[in-house]
Amino acid sequence: MLGEERRAGHEGALTEPPSSRLVSPDIRDEFGLETIDMNMGPQHPAMHGLLRLILELDGETVVRCDPVMGYLHRCQEKIAENRMYPAVIPMTDRLDYFANMHNEHGYCLAVEDLLDVEIPPRAEYIRVLMCELMRLASHIPSIGFLMLELGAFTPILYAFRERERIQSIFEAVTGARMMFHYIRIGGVKADLPPDIPQKIWDYVESLEAHFKRDFVDLIEDNEIFISRTRNVGKMTQEQAVEMGVTGPALRCTGVDFDIRLDYPYSVYPELQFEVITDTAGDVEASYRVRIGECLQSIQIIKQCLEQMPEGEVLGDTGRRIRPAEGEGFGRIESPRGEFAVHVVSDGSDTPYRVHYRDPSFCNMQLLQEIVPGHYLPDIMPIMGLIDPVSGGWDK
Amino acid sequence: MALTLPEGDLQSRLERYLEGLDNRQGLEGSEIVDGVVRIVAKKDDVPAVLATARQTLGIPHLSFITVVDREGAFELTYELIDLRGATVRVKTTIEGDEPVIGTVTGVYPTANWHEREAYDMFGIAFAGHPDLRRTYMWQDHFDHHPLLKSFEISTKRTFEGLR
Amino acid sequence: MQTVLNLLEVEPIRLLISFGAVLFLVLNLAAILTMAERKVSGYIQLRYGPNRVGPRGLLQPAADVFKLFTKENVSPGRSDLWVFLGAPIAMFIPAALVWLVVPFAPDAVVADLNVAILFFVAITSIGALGVVMAGYGSRSAFSLLGALRGAAQMISYEVPLILSLLGVVMLAGSLSLVDVVRAQGDTIWTWYFLPQLPMFITFYVSGIAEVKRVPFDLPEGESEIVGGFMIEYSGMTWALIQAAEFASMAVMSSITVTLFLGGWQPPLPFLDLGPFNWVWFGIKTALIMFTFQWIRWSVPRLRMDQLMDLGWKVLVPLTLVWLFVTAGLMLLFPSLGA
């Protein structure tokens, strides 16, 4: 378990459970206390996107927190019913825009479930390599965002420096820095350029060397960070699973559910890596889980580069992708949790129905349950625990 | 408190789930295909089937609730995951244009927002839901349910004649 | 020419001219500090700060001031306009007034009061009023929260601020800032920051809290209440609030230097510059201001209850204990006092 020995003797600043700070409505009526209704509106510099939180505050304590979504709703599921199967892939890029490769991969897995295409092994390895690079490019900024919302302005710039380097690798491989349209039905679009594996290897080695200095040393033992994040947003395993939380937010409570190991897909059965969990279930635990997952991703990338076979990169799907009638399901582990796609086909060129189960959407239910009882400034670290992306919850 | 997940290896768990859920009357079909226990139930039985799954069999996680508009009927799929490799997929069909089904929020609290999304997009009313309001669309002056097939988009195109 | 210089000796004129000069210095300092802040933050964050306007970006403050002069002063529709517009003025006046007693060099004080420390303490307390006026006058939920937090924080941190300078007063035997500087010897190890180290740290930390900078910038909490009490200000009103904030940061630094770091005195006697000792004062003040900025860009911010805990439960007992220690040592070793 991570962090157990560090916690001994230091409870952080929250020594009693948040629910003890809530005053019951009868007492409030008796003393004539009122609550303020406040809006942390859609326009907010620290809201992880366009989210409106309707808050009811009793002084600084949040009594009720109600997320209102829909400010970035782009009707992706409706539009996908009117596009041919390969043309839906650029739209999946724009779902959770910090995990583009994972969205594409999930959708392609669902469609390949409907078809009967064989994916070449080199394509599988390239898919996993790209997904793990994307996981690095998503976890490191999420640590930066956590620190930005706590008030430290510097780690986010270090994080984006790493993301820029990863994005330039993606640009060399796929041609785009952010919306890749690279993973196709049956494989990937094109092979890696010949010098890229060496560049990825060098980058990953250098990242491993200075990762601790940049993202762990200045944050982990910082007294202010500990008192702002320890025991804040604390969940039990029961609570987390009941609310449908998956991903690092669930693993930080101690449940070791990782789709790469429990519902394996692609070439993950052939790769060696661990699932990082922490028992505490608070914001600091989620920070540690993300740090551990970054280091595990580096190991996976190295193994992919070593084990990658030669061969083709796109399987033979025929000229038009026209699956038989039926349903296809794909489920992958995105940096935020479980991303599942359900594709229904009616035998024509366009899907009949596409549904995305996005982890940001499901993890946001935490806000309604966990936040009441915390102080107003604690909402930001709890959003850092959930780490939602607005393209995800709004589709 | 620590979460207890169901015991046993994958095949035995799948068979246990099939047996546990198959004991109900009124199920229209059940089988194990490709490592997924598929159950087809009547719409009135769905809350009870999911309650059995949660309470008796201990399946902890509801992954998603999908709705497909089959133009005259709605087909709902509930996917349950036991976090260790087994999946239970419960399907049901609601006939007609005014769909109503019982909520499963009491059994799986995460269904709250999935059912809200189904209501918003398809107009399915979940009886007993604590807070049934729209997720994405405007709350006040928008009476349509966008993902219905009858809600046509203005830029619909056909693909006839394309090679 | 001689009559003009004689005129400068006449009391009200001397006061007005020298205060005018100091005010000019302070306003320029506020502008330069915005530039320094951005360059320092840039280099800490592995980037250049502004480097387009002028050589290495040094004319950026001029561009900023020009922009702010031409910007529209928006006020919320239902704000209380007198209170709303009076708040930046009420914030700037205390920050400017304290400069009356700051000693730049042995004879270069605008007003050599013999109760200068009391004056300093009294005037900085008024700063809390401006914050509350800003938050109340804006009539919005975020600014109300920011104002309440600001008032609570500033009033709470005045207690350790005042207690921590009592040790210096005891050692120097006088409330006059000039006497305090003279009483600290002219070598770096006789300055008061060494014998009064806990008080120095407390005064420094309370100074950061009084100026509402990270880690104590919750009244302006950029991540949740986006600007707090100054969320509704734009254009020149906002510029005046920022100038007040930088001026009070500079004044806290200069008082810290005066009380604990020897004022205008050089660290070692042979480095004495005679009438140009204000250079030493400037260097030391700039060093303290740099540390304010260094801390701002390095650490996260404290939450309100943690901030209050720090002030009341840690800093106040520390200063009280050290007061007794100082008093006891002065009784035992009478040569310590002046």
pLDDT in tens, chain A (395 residues): 355 555 555 555 555 667 677 777 788 788 888 888 888 888 787 767 888 899 998 888 888 899 998 889 998 999 999 889 999 999 999 999 999 999 999 999 999 988 888 899 999 999 999 999 999 999 999 999 999 888 888 899 999 999 999 999 999 999 999 999 999 999 999 999 999 999 999 999 999 999 998 899 888 888 889 988 888 888 888 889 888 899 999 999 988 899 999 899 989 999 999 999 988 888 999 999 999 999 999 999 999 999 999 999 898 888 888 898 999 999 999 999 999 999 999 988 899 999 999 999 999 988 888 898 888 888 889 999 998 998 889 88
Are C243 and C27 within 8 A, CB to CB? yes
Please check whether residue B77 touches A, CB under 8 A: yes
- Token match 């976890």: residue? A139
Q: How many CB pairs under 8 A join A and B?
A: 93
**CB A390, CB A48: distance < 8 Å:** yes
Q: In chain C, which residues touch A (CB < 8 A)?
A: 41, 44-47, 141-142, 145, 214-215, 217-218, 221-226, 297-306, 309
Tokens for C67?
Answer: 């922009």
Please, are residues B101 and B126 in contact by the beta-carbon 8 Å criterion?
Answer: yes
Q: Is A357 on the interface with B (CB under 8 A)?
A: yes
* A38: closest chain C residue by CA: C141
CB burial of C48-87 (b: ≥16 within 10 Å; e: otherwise) equals ebbeeeeeebeebbeebbeebeeeeeebbeebbeebbbbb
Chain A residues within an 8 Å CB radius of B113: 361-362, 364-365
> Is A237 in contact with A252 (CB distance < 8 Å)?
no
- pLDDT value at residue C328: 92
Here the ipTM equals 0.90
Cβ distance of B63 and A338 shorter than 8 Å: yes
Q: Domains in chain A, ordered, with CATH?
A: 74-394 (1.10.645.10)
Sign of CA dihedral A67, A68, A73, A77: positive
Taking all residues of chain C, what is their mean pLDDT, rounded to a whole number? 87
**Mean of pLDDT values over C299-312:** 88
From the list A70, A246, A327, the residue facing B136 with the nearest CB is A70
Q: Which of residues 91-150 of B touch A (CB under 8 A)?
A: 108-110, 112-114, 117, 121, 134-138, 146-147
Residue C241 has pLDDT above 50, yes or no: yes
Span B129-144, average pLDDT: 86
The beta-carbon neighbor of A46 closest among C224, C299, C304 is: C224
- pLDDT of amino acid A343: 94
For residue C214, the chain A residues in CB contact (below 8 A) are: 151-152
Locate the chain A residue with the closest alpha carbon to C294.
Answer: A154
Among A237, A349, A365, beta carbon nearest to B159: A349
Cβ pair A13:C306 closer than 8 A? yes
Share of chain C above pLDDT 90, in %: 34
Physical contact, C and B (3 or more Cβ pairs within 8 A) = no
Are A238 and B61 in contact (CB < 8 Å)?
Answer: no
CB contact under 8 A, B60 and A241: yes
| Percent with pLDDT over 70 in chain A | 95
Comparing B31 with A186, the larger pLDDT belongs to A186
**Minimum-distance CB partner of A254 among B2, B112, B138:** B2
Q: Return the pLDDT at A199.
A: 94
Q: What percent of chain C has pLDDT over 70?
A: 96
- Asked if B50 and B27 touch (Cβ cutoff 8 Å), the reply is no
Handedness of CA A219, A224, A230, A232 (dihedral sign): negative
Helix, strand and coil in chain B, % to nearest 5: 25, 25, 50
Beta-carbon contacts of A195 under 8 Å, excluding residues fewer than 6 positions away, are none
Burial of C326 (0-12, 13-18, 19+ CB in 10 A): buried
Q: Number of C-alpha atoms within 13 angstroms, CB side, residue A23? A: 17
**pLDDT tens-digit profile of A281-332?**
889 999 999 999 999 999 999 999 999 999 998 988 888 888 989 999 999 9
Which chain B positions have a beta carbon within 8 Å of A327's beta carbon? 77
Burial bucket for residue A347 (CB in 10 Å: 0-12, 13-18, 19+): exposed
What is the model's pLDDT at position A17? 67
More confident residue, B161 or B62: B62
pLDDT in tens, B92-103: 999 887 889 989
- Lowest-confidence segment of A38-42, A111-115, B121-125, C133-137 by average pLDDT: A38-42
Q: Tell whether B29 lies on the interface with A, counting CB pairs under 8 A.
A: no
Q: Which fold has domain B10-127?
A: Beta Polymerase; domain 2 (3.30.460)
Q: Which member of A242, A262, A348 has the closest CB to residue B110?
A: A242
Greater confidence (B28 vs A157) lies with: A157
Chains that touch B (3 or more CB pairs under 8 A): A
Q: DSSP string spanning A26-40?
A: HHHHHHT---EEEEE
- Model pLDDT, residue C1: 66
DSSP H helices, C173-277, are 177-183, 197-211, 236-260
- Whether A238 sits inside 8 A of B1 (CB atoms) is yes
Which chain C residues are closer than 8 Å to A376 by Cβ? 145, 224-225
C338 vs B56: which has the higher pLDDT? B56
Residue A242 to residue B108, Cβ atoms within 8 A = yes
Q: How far is C157 from chain A (nearest CA, A)?
A: 18
CA distances in angstroms from A189 to A108, A173, A181, C44, listed in the order given: 12, 10, 8, 41
Provide the residue ranges of all domains of chain B, joining segments of one domain with +.
Answer: 10-127
pLDDT for A1 equals 38
Inter-chain touch C300–A379, beta carbons under 8 Å: no
How high is the pLDDT of residue B83?
Answer: 86
Nearest CA in chain C to A159: C45
d(CA B68, CA B70): 6
Measured between CA atoms, the residue of chain C closest to residue A45 is C223
Which residues of A fall within a CB distance of 8 Å from C222? 45-46, 151
- List, in order, residues 6 or more apart from A348 with CB less than 8 Å away: A322, B159
Q: How many CB pairs under 8 A join A and C?
A: 88
